[in-house]
Structure 1
Amino acid sequence: MWTILLVEDEVFVREAIREILDWERHGFCVVGEAGNGNEAFAAIVELKPDVVIADIVMPGMDGIELLKETRKAGIRSRFIMLTAMSHFDYARDAIQYGAFNYLLKLSLDDDILLESLARIKEELLAELKGAGEALFPFYHRIWADIREQGAAAQADSSGQASAIEKFRHLNLDIVAILSGDVPAHADQAGIGMERYLLVQSFYDAGQTTFFCWSFRGHTASDSRIRAKRHVESADGGSLARLSQDWLQVLQRLNYDWYGSESDLTIAEKSVATPIEELEAELIRCFEERNESKCGLAAKQIWECMKASSFTHVEVKKRATYLLHMLTMLAGQKTGDWTELYSAVSHESLLEHVQQAIRELIRQKREEQVSYTDHPEVNRVIQYMLEHYRESIKVADLASLVAINVDYLSTVFGKKTGLTPIAYLRNIRMEQAKRLLLHSKLSVEEIASQTGFSDDAYFIKVFKRHVGKTPSSFRRENNM
């Protein structure tokens, strides 16, 4: 509720003003009273009321001086000044120094007072909405932390600091809905706008979050919204708890994301998670261009994320990473995977990823690359590209195309400028570089993935070929 301080040296007048209205019914609360200007100023500094109803003529510090000192202190309380018939000069000065209105004591009634209070309430709400805009950079930083993007905290501007202070004393309900590729409206989340002072919406990663502000102690939460699909809420929070409450809402959306009624909570994910092994298996199947095995490996990754209760944001980040990695391994320009974030269920995102993998494999199969003008050499190159992870000897390549080993080495050198072994080594090094840049596999795993049984020998060959060790290459070219 908007707060009011009553300042009047005559006790019976102060009591009459206090009893003239049912303050709470009109959205106000009398938080204090004072009998003179000095007491009033101390109360204003402590309470920072939204409205001060003060007599102009008082012993000691009068109403005009009280208004001046309040403004000097940087406090923006609205002043309604009370005056008698003979004090219009004082009233004029009050208006000059920023009083909202002045009212005659003798003609004061509830209608006259309510008219001024209604106008003040409109101003206060408009000011609150304006201040609310300054909170959006704050929301973005909290969201970046939740998404683990590592956004650096920025110094608050004076406007943002002022807004944070203003909202710190309000009650916050957070409501989130899986809205797909477009932001949701408040009514889709079951939010009654009339129940709150201010409702702000924030859209990202296929989720619309609503910040619903009300007065502390007068929560406007409606528990019925929990029955709506894709909607979850955290009620009765505050700006200080924004990060925890927002994450809690994100976790509760797991029930709808996974389509499961089981007890889904965010689990602690250790370094030894099997997802890394499953990703390596997916890479192996992709290099073999085996659609069915790729589909199965992707499904196992999805099951692992569900078992670990990944939030929908974490799942979408993992999906984006996987498709980016496979696209790079396919030697193609990475695509725009932002549409993945519009998914509203675990299964639908898996289907999207499996379809994208099938399309990448299809494109690779349909590529008609003419490596040289010699068909046998081209066949050998194609075999190398498909089997570079295996142990390959020149004799095996010669048998593949049914020609003499020496002749193959000679014609291969003429057509490519390299020996078959050197050409194979280049393929392996290029694949190793891609894995170092676009996967989380260890150096030992990458050595195995690229046809080296001895990781020490792999590091030696890589350093001779690239000029730096695999670890240095990954660190200096971190993407």
Structure 2
Amino acid sequence: MWNILLVEDEPFVRRSVRQSIPWEQLGFQVIAEAEDGYEAWDYMQAQPIDLVISDIVMPFMDGVALLKQAKEHGHSAHFIMLTCLNEFEMARQAIQHGAVGYILKLSMEREELESNLFKVRKLLSEKRRQHLLYLLTVYYKDLWSQLLGKREEAEQHLDEEIVAQIPAYVRIYARPAGCEPLTIQQVEALYDPADYDFLYVQQFKVWGYQFVFVWQDKELERQQSLAMNDSEPVLVTALVAKEKLLEQWEQILHQLNQYWYRSTNISQSEAGPRWTFSWKEERQVLKLMEAMEWEEGKALLCSIWTRMAAERKQAVLVKETAARLDKAFARMTEKEETETKQWEQASSHEEILEIIIRRVDYYAKYQVKHVVSDHPEISRIIDYVFSHLNQELTLKGMAQYVSMNEQYLSGLFKKETGESFITYVQRLRIEQAQFYLRETEQSISDICQRVGFAHKNYFLKLFREQTSYSPSEYRLEHRR
């Protein structure tokens, strides 16, 4: 309900205004009355007021002065002015200062007052929608992080006082990933706004899932259904109090997970843990890939994906894991990672596995052996070398970079990687050169400089030693 303050110095006029309109049916309630502007202003500062219906001419502080006072102090209340026939100049001033409209007290037609109230309700609803746009976006992210057991990672949480500003009831419409769009307009078409004091429809998308939330102030339950492709369902919850939103969202997420695994016989209690697989397993996959053991890496991925399906891991976290692995593979090979859109549109567990395996095959073409080390300083050096391959790289420079003794670093690097520092850098540069020879039309001189060789003759000599081909022969052989 929107709160009204009625300001009028004549009691019978106040009574007439109160009795002329079915306020609650229009979404309003008169919560207070005042006899002059001073009394009204005191009340406006103490209580939330959405609309002031005020006489223009009153003792002490008139209606126009009250309106100016409210605007100067940033009060958000709207004003409808009551006026007599000889007060049109003051009514005009009130309109100039932001009043929504004015009504002649002598005629006091119900239709005219209702028309102004509808205008105010539209303004108030739009203002509230703009405010909710931000509040609910933060609210969804907070609840979503709780659903995935990651609340501590949420950027911002809403306190109880702010949550109190959110409408009291909500219903969720959900669409699985990879399906045709579910739009706000489609859901809005199911509701008649005239039945509601306030109705707000907002969309939230994450990892390809489409959620549309319908918020309302009254517990008006209507059975609503959407006529869409049966093979791509729209899931709908019951209307619930906002305090139950997290519980309802979790249930609908479980239904989406059933769709993800193409299963309908798994109870909520049988759904697997939310996490996917441990960092130890993830690092094992990365080590295989960095050692160029691509087939072993793919076999391990397939095994892990099979286990995740058996345990019904949360689909969203499966997508997150695949995207994170893909980013690591791209970093190893200096190729661009898969667009997020591909992960979002994947509609099944098998499809995600197919995508990640295709990406492994793609990255395998750029076989750059980027060694993983448990030693933090060696890992820093490896990352630095990989990012600065076209620059001068020396063991002395790396020793200074990680604040280590040069001789000690030499032994430690070989122990951790199986290669001396210079051998590691040379191999990496030759493998990068192989990639540019296969995939680009760059000249051999340009490739030589791009991978960090200062002297072309040394590059040619080293390339033949490691590949048994000259760069020109390698390029020709690859094309054959």
Shorter-chain TM-score bucket reads: 0.5 to 0.7
Q: How far 1:230 moved relative to its partner?
A: 4.9
Q: Aligned equivalents of 1:264 and 1:212: distance in 2?
A: 25
- Equivalent residue for 1:109? 109
Alignment CA distance shift 1:209-1:311 (3 Å): same
Aligned partner of residue 432 in structure 1, secondary structure: coil
**Aligned letter for 1:205?**
W
**Aligned letter for 1:301?**
I
- Equivalent residue for 1:33? 32
**Aligned letter for 1:257?**
W
Q: 2:372 aligns with which of 421, 432, 435?
A: 432
Give yes or no for contact 1:225–1:232 (8 Å, CA) kept in 2.
Answer: no
Alignment CA distance shift 1:17-1:359 (3 Å): same
Alignment CA distance shift 1:308-1:10 (3 Å): farther
Aligned partner of residue 67 in structure 1, secondary structure: helix
Q: Aligned equivalents of 1:190 and 1:101: distance in 2?
A: 30
Alignment CA distance shift 1:236-1:140 (3 Å): closer
- Equivalent residue for 2:178? 180
**Aligned letter for 1:50?**
D
Give yes or no for contact 2:169–2:215 (8 Å, CA) kept in 1.
Answer: yes
Q: How far 1:243 moved relative to its partner?
A: 8.1
Aligned partner of residue 198 in structure 1, secondary structure: strand
**Aligned letter for 1:432?**
V
Aligned partner of residue 123 in structure 1, secondary structure: helix
Mapping for residues 447-466 of structure 1, pairs under 5 Å: 461-462=415-416, 465=420
- Equivalent residue for 1:91? 91
- Equivalent residue for 1:201? 203
Q: How far 1:145 moved relative to its partner?
A: 5.2
Give yes or no for contact 1:52–1:80 (8 Å, CA) kept in 2.
Answer: yes
Q: How far 1:206 moved relative to its partner?
A: 1.1
Give yes or no for contact 2:81–2:99 (8 Å, CA) kept in 1.
Answer: yes
Are positions 1:280 and 2:284 aligned together?
yes
Alignment CA distance shift 1:190-1:355 (3 Å): farther
Q: 2:354 aligns with which of 351, 356, 370?
A: 351
Q: How far 1:112 moved relative to its partner?
A: 1.1
- CA displacement 1:233-288 (0-9 Å, x = unmatched): 585565x99888767754553233233332247765689x6684487379659955
Alignment CA distance shift 1:282-1:242 (3 Å): same
Q: Aligned equivalents of 1:22 and 1:260: distance in 2?
A: 52
Aligned partner of residue 6 in structure 1, secondary structure: strand
- CA displacement 1:38-81 (0-9 Å, x = unmatched): 44334433443322212234455443343233334422211111
Alignment CA distance shift 1:136-1:191 (3 Å): same
- CA displacement 1:144-192 (0-9 Å, x = unmatched): 9578698784899xxxx9xx79954665545442343875313566863
Alignment CA distance shift 1:197-1:270 (3 Å): closer
Aligned partner of residue 18 in structure 1, secondary structure: helix
Give yes or no for contact 1:56–1:82 (8 Å, CA) kept in 2.
Answer: yes
Are positions 1:263 and 2:267 aligned together?
yes
Q: How far 1:105 moved relative to its partner?
A: 1.2
Q: Aligned equivalents of 2:163 and 2:10: distance in 1?
A: 34
Q: How far 1:435 moved relative to its partner?
A: 11
Aligned partner of residue 66 in structure 2, secondary structure: helix
Give yes or no for contact 1:269–1:308 (8 Å, CA) kept in 2.
Answer: no
Aligned partner of residue 372 in structure 2, secondary structure: helix
Q: 1:320 aligns with which of 319, 323, 341?
A: 323
Aligned partner of residue 431 in structure 1, secondary structure: coil
Question: How many corresponding residue pairs?
Answer: 373
- Equivalent residue for 1:5? 5
Q: How far 1:218 moved relative to its partner?
A: 4.6
- Equivalent residue for 2:123? 123
Q: How far 1:104 moved relative to its partner?
A: 1.1
**Aligned letter for 1:302?**
W
**Aligned letter for 1:19?**
Q
Give yes or no for contact 2:138–2:156 (8 Å, CA) kept in 1.
Answer: no
Q: Aligned equivalents of 2:21 and 2:110: distance in 1?
A: 6
Q: Aligned equivalents of 2:349 and 2:303: distance in 1?
A: 13
Q: Aligned equivalents of 1:138 and 1:169: distance in 2?
A: 15
Q: Aligned equivalents of 1:165 and 1:95: distance in 2?
A: 35
Give yes or no for contact 1:178–1:206 (8 Å, CA) kept in 2.
Answer: yes
Q: TM-score, normalised by structure 1?
A: 0.60
Structure 1: any 5+ residue segments left out of the alignment?
368-384, 386-426, 440-456, 468-479
Alignment CA distance shift 1:328-1:58 (3 Å): closer
Q: How far 1:110 moved relative to its partner?
A: 1.4
Aligned partner of residue 115 in structure 2, secondary structure: helix
Q: Aligned equivalents of 1:315 and 1:59: distance in 2?
A: 70
Q: Aligned equivalents of 1:434 and 1:333: distance in 2?
A: 24
Give yes or no for contact 1:324–1:335 (8 Å, CA) kept in 2.
Answer: yes
Q: Aligned equivalents of 2:35 and 2:288: distance in 1?
A: 83
**Aligned letter for 1:317?**
E
Alignment CA distance shift 1:181-1:204 (3 Å): farther
Identity of aligned residues (%): 28
Mapping for residues 213-228 of structure 1, pairs under 5 Å: 213-214=215-216, 216-218=217-219, 224=225
Alignment CA distance shift 1:115-1:109 (3 Å): same
Q: Aligned equivalents of 2:413 and 2:268: distance in 1?
A: 43
Aligned partner of residue 323 in structure 1, secondary structure: helix
Alignment CA distance shift 1:165-1:335 (3 Å): closer
Give yes or no for contact 1:254–1:312 (8 Å, CA) kept in 2.
Answer: yes
- Equivalent residue for 1:192? 190
Q: CA RMSD in A?
A: 5.0
Q: Aligned equivalents of 1:171 and 1:302: distance in 2?
A: 39
Q: How far 1:103 moved relative to its partner?
A: 1.0
Aligned partner of residue 41 in structure 1, secondary structure: helix
Q: How far 1:142 moved relative to its partner?
A: 4.5
Q: How far 1:327 moved relative to its partner?
A: 5.6
**Aligned letter for 1:186?**
I
Alignment CA distance shift 1:173-1:141 (3 Å): same
